Amino acid sequence: MRWLPFQLNPDLPPTGVPRKEYIERKWGPGRGPEVYDRVAGVGREVGLPFAFENITVQPNTLDAHRLLTYADRLGRQNAVSEALFKAYFIDGRDLTDVATLADIAADAGLDRDAAAEYLASDTDRDLVRQADLEAREAGIGGVPFFIFNQKIGVSGAQGAEVLLKAMEQAKAG
C-alpha cells in the first residue's frame, strides 16, 4: 500500500486558515457540528474517537504530503500516515507547523531531527505538487480514493464489499 499526494485544499495559504472560518465558508454558519456529528458517530462504531472540536487550523497539507514522501523512502509511510491522522483528527494538532510535523515523524519511528531538516528544505516540494496535479488530471476530486493494482479506481468511503470486489477485479484483470 502506498499513500499518494492529493490535497483537498491546495489553494490554502501555507499556514492554513482558522478551522471555524473554513467550515463556515464551506457549509455555512453553524453547520459544522451537524456534518461532523455524523462522521464522529460512524467513527465511534469502529473505534475511532474523532475529536473534530479539537481542530483549530484547516491546514495546507503540502508539507504533510512531503513528510509522507520522505517516510515512504524509509519504509515508514503507513506509520506516518496513521500518526498524521491521529494528530489531526483526534489531537487537533496543526499540520502546517514544521516542528509539529517533525514530532509526528518521531511518533511514527523516524528520526525527528532528520525529518525537521527535510521539512525545512524545499526537497520534494515540486514532486508532491506534480503528483497532486496528475491525480487531478486523472479525474480524482476527493478522498478517499483507492487505486487497486493500477487498474481499478474506487472513490469515496465505500463498504468492504465494494472494495473487495474492486480488488478482485483488479487481480483478475
Quote the pLDDT of residue 22.
94
Tens place of pLDDT per residue across the chain (173 aa): 889 999 999 999 999 999 999 999 998 988 878 888 888 998 999 999 999 999 999 999 999 999 999 999 999 999 999 999 999 999 999 999 999 999 999 999 999 999 999 999 999 999 999 999 999 998 888 888 889 998 898 988 788 899 999 999 999 97
The verdict on pTM exceeding 0.85 is yes
Residue pair 87/96 in contact by the 8 Å Cβ criterion: no
What is the rounded CA–CA span in Å between residue 86 and residue 120?
A: 23
Question: How far apart, in Å, are the Cα atoms of 138 and each of 99, 142, 167?
Answer: 33, 12, 20
Every domain of the chain and the residues it spans:
17-137, 143-173
Class of domain 17-137: alpha beta
